[in-house]
Amino acid sequence: MTKHRGVAESSMSEAALPIRVDANIVMRDLPSHEREGQIFWRLRVRLCMAHLRSLMAQARLRTSLVVGLSVFFWVGLFALFYGGFEFVVKHVDAPGAPYHAKTMQFIFSLFFLSLQVMLVFSSGIILYSGLYPSHETAFLLTLPTRNERLVDYRFQEALFFSSWGFFLLASPMLMAYGAVVHAPWYYFAYLPVLLAAFAYIPCAVGAIICLVLIDRLPRLRRVILGAAALAIIVIAYRSIWRTLEMTDLEALGRSWFTETYRRFRFMRDEWLPSVWLSHALLDAARRSNNNPKDLPWFESGKYLIVLVSNALFLHIVVGGLGKRMFRSSYCGLHSRPARQPRTTWGKVDRFVSAGLWMLPPTMRVLIVKDLRQFRRDPVQWSQFLIFFGLLLLYFANVDRFRQHRENPDVLTWVNIVSFLNLAVVGLILSTFTTRFIYPLISLEGRRFWILSRLPIDRDTILWGKLLFAAGGSWMSCSVLVLVSDLMLSVSWVIVALHQIVCLLLCIGLSGMAVGLGAIMPNFREQSPSKIAAGFGGTLNLVLSALYILVVVLLTALPCHFYLLAGKSDGQPKLLEPTFMNVWMLLGVGCAVLVTAIVTVIPLRRGLQAFRQLEV
Amino acid sequence: MLRFEHVSRSYGSRLAVDDLQLEIKAGQLYALLGHNGAGKTTTIKMLVGLLRPGQGVITVGSYDAVEHPREVSRLIGYVPDQPFLYDKLSAREFLQFVADMYGLSAAAGAAAVAREIERFHLGDFADRLAESYSHGMRQRTVFAAALIHDPEVLVVDEPMVGLDPQSIKLVKDLLQSYVRDGRTVLMSTHTLAVAEEIADRVGVMKTGKLMFDGRVETLRDVVEGTDGSLEAMYLAMMERLDGPAPASE
């Protein structure tokens, strides 16, 4: 240590030289606000053009598929909304009448308020991921970029990614409404500006919450924030459910509607942007009542101005907060201590390994490794927890039909709802298999030299992934489906049938994701989300949805007819009760066959591709 | 040109940089050495504005790094250890963007881009998208971007990683010529031979503290009993700072 002290002393003697500040450094003028905006705009355009060129050159099929499906979705929604609004005009009241306005105000307010809340959350989350953990942000911070410009640049992305779904949903609905009520031309002219201004407001609120939260609470652990978010969601969910709860009123009857309308008065508060938008739309869509003082375009225009001015005001607030808070919050967040992953779950791993005693030891090791990775990746388990937690909450409350047990109509509804719940579980699972299982082989490929050096058969790796995915998903999905069935009080035959279908779905979806992931690996991409968003991932998602639809329909329809069998006159002989068991068995048999096809074919092709893999 | 005055930065309870006092004059090439986790990258990140000091002041020229981050970044060119490029931009477009951000006029920007493309031999791939670049090509492009505005201070974190021998020679020559022009280089590196060859001063950090700051010759006087190479002296110094080795049975 004496030597060490000597080192320090010598260092100080040399370092204590006076600093020379060169006053003659030639300083160029940094870009003005406007110039900086132009530079970033040019960057954005260049990046977008390069992306588009790359998509057209390398992924024409995927792009065509996405565009085609979006157009199909849009047209389908338009047709659906058109029919719905025609129903309102025919059965409630004509446009301009008070009941029509009231009903539409209710529908629009409910729809836009729900989307408003979602936009707040999604833009906040997307802005966070773009602004704080991003390499690009770190690079831009080392350039002479204004803080507010950086926030604005990232906010534009958050705005786009969080609101495209809103536009995809809202535009067919409002176009359909305009077409049904024969709205004047200015309704359609106002529409894009109204939607853009409206979407901007909740997105900006989400951005403000994100900036303030990260600046003020940088030290809060993600788990605490996640738990708080979950608590808020649960409380909101319970509140909504209580609002909807009506035990002593006839479901979907007049008093039910009246009571529901009354209970939802909170969403018609005049301070809500969703209400401004609803007013603007209804005013723009109605015809003038021949009173010279009644100017619908002007009334609607006033709400348009309110929306635009609020959006612009919030734009300024986001910029101001970005200027004041962004850099300090960024530095604060990146000064947090690195989280030490817990390694105290060894008992769980040993338990799982012991439970898989029937499998070869190498496969057990691979499954336990995948389990560890899942457990230590908050992105995976938090999404899993949120989606399945929300589903569980919903299923735990889905007992609204109990009081009308004896009604055959209600019984068939219960059957439909129970199968819809099963389909929802499958659809959520398909998003997980696409997002987390499909990219596994691509990600493994990057580390393939490790596995290829080990004395493990390559097939074992793929089978291990399949068992991990199918086993893990079945354990959670079967519980969810069971809760749904118990709450709906369906018969034990249906419970057993649902459990079989659930198992089939878990195997089929996992097999498809693992197989397609091995057939179409992407070793150049490091981000699993980008791998999942590629052509293979998109294909996996689309095929998964089709597969779920087929399997659920194959098993749901015989059950549906089984419940109807013998309850009405003049039905075909093949739908008589004696044939129903045959139909049900046939349905299950076909579902097993479809599952075998979607599992075996991709897996066989995947195994072949994986055996020949060279990395 | 660079001054760290009693600078500290912690991550939670772990002190990453502990009361750092350091001055680097114009015309000096300073090499920051130390094990992984010694505090080198934290020091550099505070200098370039990616982190803020918990205590103390960092000055670049006459500007406080926290109060005037834009002015400081105008004086600094930064090459990080993990280079960032836009995958969907070519090197030329990337350099043009950086030149624009530093306020270079169209003509000056074009001239600077052409100069750096020539200096780093980027011509063969300057118009290809960066997504197809190797690590070395990316590193050279990032060097070109860091120098596009002719900064007074060049801050380089692990400059030689992933470069081929020709590029290493290029970078070494560049850094040396840079300080000969009266400008400043702060380099963090594990490549001790390069530090010994080109650095005017070296600083050795350990657990956030600057344990040594001076010329390599001074270190030779301090650490005795080695062959005199920086590597041998560095390892001997670290061994001593770690304390006596456990007695063998």
Diameter over CA atoms, chain A = 106
- Residue A351 one-letter amino acid: F
Report the share of chain A in percent with pLDDT over 90.
36
**Average per-residue pLDDT in chain B?**
89
Give the residue from B220, B223, B217, B249 showing the smallest Cα distance to B238. B223
Contact check, Cβ <8 Å, A7/B103: no
Whether residue B40 is predicted with pLDDT greater than 70 in this model: the reply is: yes
Mean pLDDT, residues B9-21 taken together: 90
What are the structural domains of chain B?
Answer: 2-242 (3.40.50.300)
Chain B environment of A15 (Cβ under 8 Å)? 21-23, 213-214
Spans of all domains in chain A: 81-333, 383-611
Note the pLDDT of residue A205.
Answer: 96
Report the share of chain B in percent with pLDDT over 90.
63
Whether residue A450 is predicted with pLDDT greater than 80 in this model: the reply is: no
pLDDT range class, residue A11, cuts 50, 70, 90? very low
B182-224 tens-digit pLDDT: 999 999 998 888 888 999 999 999 989 999 998 888 888 877 7
Q: Which DSSP category does B90 fall into? A: B
Note the pLDDT of residue B248.
Answer: 37
- Residue B118 one-letter amino acid: E
Note the pLDDT of residue A219.
Answer: 57
Whether residue A352 is predicted with pLDDT greater than 60 in this model: the reply is: yes
Highest mean pLDDT out of A400-409, B108-117, B230-239: B108-117
Chain B environment of A11 (Cβ under 8 Å)? 203, 210-214
Facing residue for A7 by CB, picked from B69, B78, B222: B222
Whether residue B117 is predicted with pLDDT greater than 80 in this model: the reply is: yes
For tokens 């919050």, name the residue. Answer: A329
pLDDT range class, residue A28, cuts 50, 70, 90? low
**Distance from C-alpha of A367 to C-alpha of A464, rounded to nearest angstrom:** 6
Is the Cβ–Cβ distance between A131 and A137 less than 8 Å? yes
What is the full DSSP assignment across B43-77? HHHHHHTSS--SEEEEEETTEETTT-HHHHHHHEE
A547-600 tens-digit pLDDT: 999 999 999 888 877 776 656 665 666 666 677 778 888 999 999 999 999 999
Is the Cβ–Cβ distance between A458 and A362 less than 8 Å? no
Give the residue from B40, B16, B224, B14 showing the smallest Cα distance to A2. B224
A12-24 tens-digit pLDDT: 333 333 333 344 4
What is the full DSSP assignment across A155-173? HHHHHHHHHHHHHHHHHHH
Q: Which residues of B147-185 are buried (b: 16+ CB within 10 A; e: fewer)?
A: bbbbbbbbbbbbbbeebeeebeebbeebbeebbeeebbb
Contact check, Cβ <8 Å, B11/A50: no
A504's tokens: 């089939």
Contact check, Cβ <8 Å, A335/B52: yes
**Distance from C-alpha of A382 to C-alpha of A375, rounded to nearest angstrom:** 10
Terminal-to-terminal C-alpha distance of chain B: 52
- ipTM rounded to 2 decimals: 0.92
pTM: 0.77
Least confident of A96-100, A172-176, A199-203: A96-100
Note the pLDDT of residue A217.
Answer: 73
Mean pLDDT, residues A114-135 taken together: 89
Chain A environment of B93 (Cβ under 8 Å)? 46
Whether residue A386 is predicted with pLDDT greater than 80 in this model: the reply is: no
Q: Hey, is B199 helix, strand or coil?
A: coil
Least confident of A323-337, A342-356, A485-499, B143-157: A342-356
**Distance from C-alpha of A296 to C-alpha of A280, rounded to nearest angstrom:** 9
Facing residue for A31 by CB, picked from B82, B103, B213: B103
Which one has a higher pLDDT value, A509 or A250?
A509
Q: Which DSSP category does A436 fall into? A: I
Chain A environment of B22 (Cβ under 8 Å)? 15
Least confident of A175-184, A199-208, A434-443: A434-443
* B152 min Cα distance to partner chain A (Å): 8
A301-322 tens-digit pLDDT: 999 999 999 999 999 999 999 9
**Distance from C-alpha of A338 to C-alpha of A327, rounded to nearest angstrom:** 20
Best probe of the B interface among A11, A145, A323, by most B CBs < 10 A, is: A11
**Average per-residue pLDDT in chain A?**
82
Mean pLDDT, residues B22-42 taken together: 92
- In angstroms, how far is CA A329 from the centroid of its own chain? 27
Query: Crossing angle, helix A458-488 and helix A577-611, to 10 degrees?
Result: 150
B137: number of Cβ within 10 Å: 21
